[in-house]
């Protein structure tokens, strides 16, 4: 939620009526599917949209960014743990 809020604020969209104008696309993870997050999207007017299970091509850009971050930062041992 914090990243979504920060993005809306950065782009001058926080507090505006976004009903039907923007779609938040995510995987089927725990946070995007949580009641609290879905309610947050409703308050902001963002339309939530989840990709299908194991549908990497449905969210290819995000999957690629995640893969790049993992390969550049985590797999090369820059961090001792993910926490």
Same domain, 26 and 8: yes
For the stretch 10-68, pLDDT in tens is 988 888 878 878 888 887 777 778 899 889 988 888 988 877 766 666 667 777 887 88
DSSP codes joined into one string, 5-59: HHHHHHTT-TTS--TTT-EEEE-S-TTTTSHHHHHHHHHHTPEEEEPPTT-GGGG
Same domain, 6 and 32: yes
Q: Radius of gyration over alpha carbons of the chain, in Å? A: 15
pLDDT at position 7 is 87
Same domain, 29 and 12: yes
Domain that holds residue 25: 2-50
Does the pLDDT at position 81 exceed 70? no
Same domain, 7 and 23: yes
Same domain, 7 and 46: yes
Cα–Cα distance list, 19 to 22, 56, 63, 72, 74 (Å): 7, 27, 27, 37, 38
pLDDT at position 57 is 66
pLDDT at position 51 is 75
Does the pLDDT at position 80 exceed 80? no
């Amino acid at each position: 939620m914090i990243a979504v809020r920060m993005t809306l604020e950065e782009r001058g969209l926080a507090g505006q009526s976004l009903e039907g104008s923007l779609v938040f696309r995510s995987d089927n993870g725990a946070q995007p599917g949580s009641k609290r997050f879905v309610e947050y999207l409703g308050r902001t007017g963002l339309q939530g949209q989840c990709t299908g299970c194991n549908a990497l091509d449905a969210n290819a850009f995000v999957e690629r960014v995640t893969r790049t971050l993992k390969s550049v930062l985590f797999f090369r041992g820059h961090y001792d743990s993910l926490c």
